Amino acid sequence: MPPQQPVLYLSKVERRYPQAERPLEVLRGATLAVWPGELVALVAPSGTGKSTLLHVAGLLEKPDGGEVFIEGAPTVDMDDAERTRLRREEIGFVYQFHHLLPEFSALENVVMPQLIRGLRKAEARERAAELLGFLGLGERLHHRPAELSGGEQQRVAIARAVANAPRLLLADEPTGNLDPQTANHVFSTLVALVRASRLGALVATHNLELAARMDRRVTIREGRVAELP
Ligand code: ADP
Ligand code: MG
């Protein structure tokens, strides 16, 4: 068996945004590895670059320096088509707001990304139903987002994010919009999913209680990633 490699490895990542005077240096050599089956909390004050780091890790933005390895593959010099393929097949995203398609059912929302990837409809529906069942939504398959609670909507968003069996899950304050009890429940299902599928997950959160339940905690300090106790 080949030695394990991180599903995500950020190596000295730099990201800056142009401003009137001099550029705003958000990431200044951020280095971080996320391993298979590992759940890492990203805990840092607002405005320190959590979303920026997740966007760079998810190949939504290119870094201005450094390298982003997905499953060992360097991505900075890949062409757009290859980056898009990697993003679609290896990376799942969950945001603070669910961004589900309102006119489609929970099941259809989870089926959609699989069809885009080229799976047959019957297989996609089977996997979607299985995933939603795992997340405790077996009785809600045919509900539209508006007919679901906030916690249920977020669990559908999690199912959608992992519909194509990615290796890496990136979540940007996924429970930030939920009451504490619901946040706790959604988070528990997320943990179960990560453990069961040996995904690597990086989760930005302000919730210190949830962060404490993850395997490791990191923060962003002066544009670099630092381990927290
Ligand atoms: P966080 O998610 O930790 O709150 P962000 O990554 O969203 O932080 O933002 C980090 C800093 O970069 C903030 O000061 C923000 O205003 C700035 N920023 C983020 N995105 C852009 C952008 N597209 N253009 C200019 N500045 C940005
Ligand atoms: Mg943010």
Strand partners of residue 170: 93, 202
* Residue 185 Cα distances to 30, 92, 136, 158, 163, angstroms: 31, 20, 10, 13, 20
Q: Which tens digits make up the pLDDT trace of 121-179?
A: 999 999 999 999 999 999 999 999 999 999 999 999 999 999 999 999 999 999 988 88
Cβ atoms of residues 116 and 193 within 8 Å: no
Looking at the whole model, is its pTM more than 0.85? yes
Looking at residue 26, what is its pLDDT?
A: 97
Give, using CA atoms, the residue closest to atom 10 of ligand 1.
Answer: 49
Distance 105 CA to ligand 1 centre (A): 33
Looking at residue 98, what is its pLDDT?
A: 86
What is the chain's mean pLDDT, rounded? 94
Q: With helix as H, strand as E and coil as C, how does 194-209 read?
A: HHHHCCEEEEECCCHH
**Pocket residues for ligand 1 (CB within 6 Å)?**
17, 24, 26, 44, 46-52
Q: What is the mean pLDDT of residues 10-29?
A: 95
Distance 1 CA to ligand 2 centre (A): 38
The DSSP symbol for 2 reads P
Q: Which tens digits make up the pLDDT trace of 164-223?
A: 999 999 999 999 888 888 899 889 988 988 888 889 999 999 889 999 999 999 999 999
Identify which ligand lies nearest to the alpha carbon of 48: 1
Alpha helices in 29-120 (DSSP H): 50-57, 80-90, 106-117
Integer Cα distance of 54 and 23 in angstroms: 20
Identify which ligand lies nearest to the alpha carbon of 173: 2
State which of 19, 22, 24, 170 you would mutate to test the pocket of ligand 1, scoring each by most atoms of that ligand within 8 A of its C-beta: 24
Q: Which tens digits make up the pLDDT trace of 42-67?
A: 999 999 999 999 999 999 999 999 99
Looking at residue 7, what is its pLDDT?
A: 97
With bands split at pLDDT 50, 70 and 90, how would you rate the model's confidence at 3? Answer: low
